[in-house]
Amino acid sequence: MAYRNDQRLPLDEGGGPGPVLRLSVNPRARRLSVRIDARAGEAVVIAPTERGLTQAVAFARTKAVWISQRLAVQPKGRPLEPGQVISLRGRPVRLEAVPGAGAARLVEDGAVIRSGGEGEAYARRVENLLKREARDTLLERTDHHLRALGQKPVKMSIADTRSRWGSCSPHNRTIRYSWRVIMAPPPVIDYLAAHEVAHLVHADHSPAYWSVVERLVGDHKPWRKWLKDYGGALHAVGR
């Protein structure tokens, strides 16, 4: 059976109910792999080519028990509402409501976010503040790493991607980040910026690429592991 990029199919080869596989072709991938998309509640099967998806699906199905277990323990959604405690740059921040429709703002030395609005309007204002914080921080760290590598400026954008924390397009010099990384500790944020900037030098994940990342931030493995271990909780915020 021929598979195609972005196709979805059941983990169970018999087509029964249960976890879903999402197929993804990534030319930069060096091997077949499976990762958990916490936000979508799917297992993403990755192959370097569309032809390789057949083998990738077979590989994923050998990991059916692991995939089911990982999806079963993914964090549940945490609404952005008054009384909720979220993190900002790795520090706990309490959400509070104030009368009116004012924009969200950081107060009490960054320990509290106060915002007007109710329901979805309140959540939207808080999310907009987090996006602004993400833009400012990631722009600063991106520029820092660009200078370290002698690279010219890039066009940077902030999004709420379904799974990837960032992406880089060397041919048009654009970098996109998930705003949710602003909830992670500063070294994780810095690692993500270095990860994407390094793709301007090497578009793959070869040893030469990782040597550039290491040059920028030192030992990157703890920060990669942090995103793997705790990223699902960040994707659950506001869901």
pLDDT digits (tens, 9 = 90+) for 110-168: 899 999 999 999 999 999 999 999 999 999 999 999 999 999 999 999 998 766 899 99
Above 80 in pLDDT, residue 86? yes
- Output the CA torsion sign for 217, 222, 228, 234: negative
Task: Name the helix (H) or strand (E) containing 177.
Answer: strand 174-178
pLDDT of residue 1: 67
Q: How far is 116 from 104, CA to CA, in rounded Å?
A: 7
Beta partners for residue 34, in sequence order: 45
pLDDT of residue 12: 80
Beta partners for residue 177, in sequence order: 158, 166
Higher-confidence residue of 203 and 236: namely: 203
Task: Specify the pTM.
Answer: 0.73
Which tens digit of pLDDT belongs to each residue from 159-192?
A: 987 668 999 999 999 999 999 999 999 999 999 9
pLDDT of residue 191: 97
Taking Cα atoms as reference points, which of 211, 213, 188 lies closest to residue 198? 213
Q: Which two tokens stand for residue 150?
A: 């002698």
- Are residues 5 and 199 in contact, defined by beta-carbon separation less than 8 angstroms? no
Query: Which residue matches tokens 């107060």?
Result: 107
